[in-house]
Amino acid sequence: MTSILNGRCGCDTSTEPLFAIGEKVPDVPGREIRTVALIGPPNSGKSTLFNRLTRLRQKVGNYPGVTVEQRVGVLAGSGHEIRIVDLPGVYSLTPYSDDERVAVEVLTGQMDGLPRPDAVLLVLDVTHLSRQLVLAKPVIALGLPTLVLLNMADVFAKGGGSLDVLKLAEELGAPVAMVSATLGTGLDTVDRFLRQEHDPLPEALLPVLQDLPQCRKWASQVGRRIDYQRHVPSVWSRRLDDVFLHKIWGPVIFVVVVGAVFQTVFGLGQPLSTAFQDLLTKLGQQAAPLVPDGLVRSLLLDGLWKGVSSVLVFLPQILLLFLFIGFLEDSGYLARAALIADRTMRGVGLNGKAFIPLLSAYACAVPAIMATRTIENKRDRIATILIAPFMTCSARLPIYTLLIAAFIPNRPVVGVLLSARACAMLSLYLLGFLAAIVTAKILKSSVLRSAAAPFVLELPEYRWPTWQSIGLRLFDRARVFLRQAGTYILGVSLLVWVLTHLPLHGGHAPQLEQSAIAYLGHGIEPLIRPLGFNWKIGIGLLTSVIAREVIVGTLGTIYGTDPATHSMTLQNALRQDLAPAGAMALLVFFAFAMQCTSTLAVVRRETNSWKWPVVQFVYMTIVAYAAAFAVNQVLSTLLH
């Protein structure tokens, strides 16, 4: 496939590139390009292109004064360092939303900490070109050297789509390239563009940028003048939509897919986690003779190593979960799931736009809450923010898998297709979802009542995900998980170990029951005893306010320093110390409780008030306590 083209593009591949392969591209005189802005509409493949260009050499933060995510990477393979700034996905440069304001400020050089870009890469989905051209004119009108990248070129060509790229370049007054971020084709032209000499842009007919109807009319006229022929979705794609979007079979298939994911996470993930746990245990045993006996060995092995390794063992299951989520997302199925969910969302006063943030909350509530910026209606947005933490994030997965594996036998429920453990995990995800739906219904019928808004969604083509895209996603997820294990989980494990060894008696650590941490735990035990929890679980609940998964590291450290459970795995120690009813109550408590200070901080910033995070924390804690109390009382009665 050609890159920067000066002829007709589509099924015709007889055109020539702007520069021949191997031809010397003239350097930019006087000033090298150092900073490039990457901009495009949502779902145009911009993030995939960013990952391709930087090969994950990137930093993630927030722009000053707003919670819009800032991603800056370094162009891989360039002769000198070129920074690529990945701007948020926007449909226009009218600065109404935070995303649009950030894009305008970066492009005009008004953003603190970032120089004005030397060039712009504008990414448009060629399969929806008529609609996405609306963004092209205001970006090119800024006067910066701009390369227009028509993404999804492979899908466009397979569907019989075509356009005259030279005419489009003349209409826009900027070079145009046909690329596929997924396959990596055509991307060599980016480096060529950044190293070539940029002549003054030719004049082009500008619409009135503030007049959206005129912009749309102009985009439609451009489509006709460049002989744009839309691609036709494949027959099998239309047939899949007939099934996946069916009024009855669509939701049924969605439930089956979700059930299959959890069955695989447990059926395949549990043996992997067990093998990983054995490996970590052997590493600890081999390291023991190398560490001096006494407090140093106790600190490093019983405290830090057992605390951190008790969390690390769940890495295989977390990666398996994100493997399936990545496959479903990149294949195009999750966009269909959003349409299916729109029917449910409307029943509680929301629409399908809330589905994407709620879906991303299964990874982490923090980016999910930030993703609610795409919801225009303020009341709908606040309602989505308040219910997002009910969705089962990946931080809950370690405590879920720990307790389910310890207390629920691995018995088949539907033959080999569904086990009791997978059913338990699915039930917990369903509990969180139902709590979110009920809460949304209460909010939207009372304090956050508003009129219904239409839901418009562009459905991407079905396609096979690439292993590179999935691999980058899993690598990023593993990096985040390991960074958490190496920071605050490590810090909390250190604090818990110290408290288990204070106060010293004759220079020796006290018995666990006489330690400072036991004193603190027994102080809160009367409050949690009705839930079936002991003081050790209480300490875990306190530390998990920092982050949910910290409870596993905390319990690993406590039980690791207890002589009675020192040689046991954490699962066996919990089985000895916790009744089944209490274990089920703990699962339910974590399904509902707000145990994440990072989420509370983001809610505070997004709502610009402490009122909503305080209400959210109190409400979710009350729901969690009441539900755990009911589960413990009912199961205690039934099991005795």
pLDDT at 626 over 90: yes
Q: What is the pLDDT of residue 585?
A: 97
SS3 per-residue string spanning 535-563: HHHHHHHHHCCCCCCHHHHHHHHHHHHCC
Looking at per-residue confidence, does 43 or 58 come out higher?
Answer: 43
Quickly tell me which residue has 């209480």 as its tokens.
538
Give CA–CA dist 216/207, Å, rounded: 9
Kindly state the tokens that stand for 269.
């993930």
433-437, 453-457, 630-634: the lowest-pLDDT one: 453-457
Q: What is the pLDDT of residue 200?
A: 52
Q: What is the pLDDT of residue 79?
A: 60
Kindly state the tokens that stand for 350.
């929301």
Q: How many CB atoms sit inside 10 A of residue 563's CB? A: 8
What is the pLDDT averaged over residues 230-248?
84
- Contacts of residue 501, defined as CB under 8 A and 6 or more positions apart, other chains included, come to 295, 298, 509, 510, 515, 561
- Measure CA 453 to chain center: 25
Give CA–CA dist 310/336, Å, rounded: 37
Give CA–CA dist 287/301, Å, rounded: 8
| Terminal Cα-to-Cα distance of the chain (whole angstroms) | 71
pLDDT at 341 over 50: yes
Pick from 135, 126, 131, 134: which is nearest to 38 by CA? 135
Quickly tell me which residue has 């140093």 as its tokens.
296
Q: What is the pLDDT of residue 3?
A: 35
Per the DSSP assignment, residues forming a β-bridge with 74 are: 83
Alpha-helical segments (H) within 397-533:
397-407, 420-444, 467-486, 488-500, 516-528
Quickly tell me which residue has 């009372």 as its tokens.
446
- Measure CA 9 to chain center: 35
Question: What's the CA dihedral at 561, 563, 566, 568 to 10 degrees?
Answer: -140
Helix (H, G, I), strand (E, B) or coil at 174: coil
Helix (H, G, I), strand (E, B) or coil at 9: strand
- Measure CA 67 to chain center: 15
pLDDT digits (tens, 9 = 90+) for 540-558: 999 888 778 888 888 888 8
Preceding peptide of 503 cis, ω within 30°: yes
Helix (H, G, I), strand (E, B) or coil at 150: strand
**Are residues 544 and 398 in contact, defined by beta-carbon separation less than 8 angstroms?**
no
Q: What is the pLDDT of residue 564?
A: 79
Q: Name the DSSP letter for residue 278.
A: H
Q: What is the pLDDT of residue 457?
A: 65
pLDDT at 275 over 60: yes
Phi, psi of 566 (to 5 degrees): -60, -40
Q: What is the pLDDT of residue 65?
A: 43
Phi, psi of 360 (to 5 degrees): -70, -20
Give CA–CA dist 198/143, Å, rounded: 11
Q: Name the DSSP letter for residue 377.
A: S
67-71, 151-155, 606-610: the lowest-pLDDT one: 67-71
Q: What is the pLDDT of residue 18?
A: 30
**Over the chain, what is the mean pLDDT?**
80
Using alpha carbons only, what angle is made at residue 235 by residues 231 and 241, rounded to the nearest 5 degrees?
100
Q: Count H helices and E strands in the chain, helices first.
A: 29, 11
Over its C-alpha atoms, the chain yields an Rg (Å, rounded) of 28
Kindly state the tokens that stand for 385.
């923010």
Give CA–CA dist 126/71, Å, rounded: 24
Give CA–CA dist 460/152, Å, rounded: 10
Q: What is the pLDDT of residue 68?
A: 56
pLDDT digits (tens, 9 = 90+) for 89-133: 888 787 666 677 888 888 888 887 788 888 999 999 998 888 888
Kindly state the tokens that stand for 449.
């009542």
265-269, 427-431, 598-602: the lowest-pLDDT one: 265-269
Kindly state the tokens that stand for 390.
């009910």
Domains of the chain with bracketed CATH: 8-225 (3.40.50.300), 252-268+319-444 (no CATH), 295-307+466-639 (no CATH)
What is the pLDDT averaged over residues 292-315?
79
SS3 per-residue string spanning 397-421: HHHHHHHHHHHCCCCEEECCCEEHH
Phi, psi of 162 (to 5 degrees): -155, 160
Looking at per-residue confidence, does 34 or 630 come out higher?
Answer: 630
Total count of residues recorded for the chain: 640
pLDDT band at 146 (very low <50, low <70, confident <90, very high): very high
pLDDT band at 636 (very low <50, low <70, confident <90, very high): very high
DSSP 224-256: HHTT-B-----HHHHHHHHHHT-TTHHHHHHHH
186-190, 273-277, 279-283, 307-311: the lowest-pLDDT one: 307-311
Per the DSSP assignment, residues forming a β-bridge with 84 are: 36, 73
pLDDT digits (tens, 9 = 90+) for 47-92: 888 888 887 655 554 444 444 566 788 887 656 678 898 888 888 7
Phi, psi of 531 (to 5 degrees): -90, -5
Q: What is the pLDDT of residue 613?
A: 92
pLDDT band at 201 (very low <50, low <70, confident <90, very high): low
Pick from 391, 403, 495, 383: which is nearest to 444 by CA? 383
Sheet strands (E) in 113-260: 119-125, 146-151, 163-164, 176-178
Q: What is the pLDDT of residue 211?
A: 58
